Structure 1
Amino acid sequence: MIRALAVTLACAQAAAAGPVAQVDPESLALAGRMDFEALPLLPEPGLAHDAPLTAPGLALGARFAGQAVTGAPHDRLEGAPRGPLALAAIAPGQGLATAWHAGFGSTALFPLGPAGFPVIEARGEGAVALLFEADVRALALKIHADYADPLGTRPPPGTATLTFHDRAGGLIDRHHVGLAHGVLALGFASTGPGFAGVTITNDDPGGIAIDDIRYPLPDLNG
């Protein structure tokens, strides 16, 4: 009940912003978590995953069935997902990788771009698709775009695009989030019935890593 109340309050705070609003991630009390700590602890390039990664209530892939991947050096997703929402098969070396990430101080997720595993230019340039077992009304995660740049010699950070879909594959909302050097914590809350899936793409020059995905679990007391 406390978990449900916290999510409800965050949704109320975001009510004027749109179907899915960006909120303070610390305001979200979410019981579901995918943090990749159970996977092998390996240095980059790490371990490639050509099948979905799963945790209770959540599965991760590279895109949804019905979508096509285009673009270089970063993945772009084209087309609407087919309903009911499902993860697409992952081509070898074109899906996801996990590896130790110094910025997070833990194992993190690297979406693989067109260059493919284990090429360094692929790490972080890909797309990620999150499929929830039941519709959810909130999501929190952390994105690392690049390390701090005290000399100012690197290109400025890019943008991450999070697109929220319903169970039939329809578009609910889309957020373009400006990235920053280091770890960026993000939170989102739905003012409607919830969302079934989310895709994440980016155009950051160095690519991104993702960790600490948090989401609601079904209320067993409900």
Structure 2
Amino acid sequence: MRRIMWWFMCIWPAGALACERPVCAIDPSELSLARLVDFENLPSGFGPGRLYRDVIEADDVSFGEHLIGQARDAEGDYDRIDGPAMPPLRLGRAPRGELLSITRVGTSQVLNGQGPAGFPKREAEGEGAIAILFAHDQAALSFDVVGGEGGTGFVLFLARDGTVLDRHDLPDLREDIRAFHTPGMVERIAALIMMNDDPEGIAIDNLRYDLIRQMGAIGLGGAGRASYVLAHAVTIPVPPPDPATANPPR
């Protein structure tokens, strides 16, 4: 038995054993994740970006503002989403249809939530909530934070029955990769909601999910890092064109 436990401790990352919360933060380099959403194939724009009035859907993941049944509120120019959701989980639409935008930043495209001020106002861009709903429960995931001027991010994790698993506050937002997992790498995360109070708002990019397991553990070391970087890109169907929402005046 001691030999078995010693082998288990060697192959399992320290970050996966140290946390007793329902959802734990982890160094992204310790995860091997198979799927990637980078928004690169979607219509976008500079400045406020291109507005998306409907939920953005792929085969096994979708993006919106909140889950049906959750409480919606505003705190100044920022969205606030809280509480459990109504099963079966479904993404809700914003009342005015100003949901998300895809913005071209340098050579990348990023996803913004549109805040209460409304698209295309600068004080709306990146200050709205972003909800992510998975078709299958996840044990681990990561995403890039784009932007950030030292504000705080708030991440709410939900189970498939709509109950709140955990909430993480992310202080001092900067350009960074944030990664999370469940203890024991149990597949429990059905959805998450991201919010912030950053002075400039934030966007997200490169959502990674779908844990790769090796001998009952996660991929580590050089091979694990390579799997993390070379995740399979998820193609999002391109919605019908809507020229009126591309790069409108502020």
Establish whether TM, by shorter chain, passes 0.5: yes
Q: How far apart, in 2, do the equivalents of 1:120 and 1:93 lie?
A: 17
Aligned residue for 2:15?
13
Does residue 192 of structure 2 align to residue 189 of structure 1?
no
In structure 2, runs of 5+ residues without a counterpart are 1-10, 214-250
Q: How far apart, in 2, do the equivalents of 1:97 and 1:193 lie?
A: 29
Runs (4 or more) in structure 1 with deviation over 4 Å come to none
In structure 1, runs of 5+ residues without a counterpart are 1-7, 147-155
Aligned residue for 1:174?
167
Matching residue's letter, 1:87? L
Superposition map of 1:37-52 within 5 A: 37-52=40-55
| SS of aligned partner of 1:172 | strand
Aligned residue for 2:77?
73
- Go from structure 1 to structure 2 and tell me whether the alpha carbon gap of 1:29 and 1:55 turns closer, same or farther (over 3 Å shift): farther
Matching residue's letter, 2:78? H
| SS of aligned partner of 2:33 | coil
Q: How far apart, in 2, do the equivalents of 1:116 and 1:54 lie?
A: 22
Deviation at 1:68, TM superposition (A): 3.0
Question: How much identity, in percent, do the aligned residues show?
Answer: 36
Higher helix content, 1 or 2: 2
Q: Bigger radius of gyration, 1 or 2?
A: 2
Does residue 88 of structure 2 align to residue 84 of structure 1?
yes
Aligned residue for 1:5?
none
Matching residue's letter, 2:22? P
Aligned residue for 2:108?
106
Aligned residue for 1:96?
100
Q: Structure 1, residues 162-218: CA drift from partner, whole Å, max 9, x if none?
A: 11110111011111011334x111110111442100010101111001100001079
| SS of aligned partner of 1:43 | coil
Q: How far apart, in 2, do the equivalents of 1:61 and 1:179 lie?
A: 25
Q: Is the 8 A contact 1:48 1:93 kept in 2?
A: no
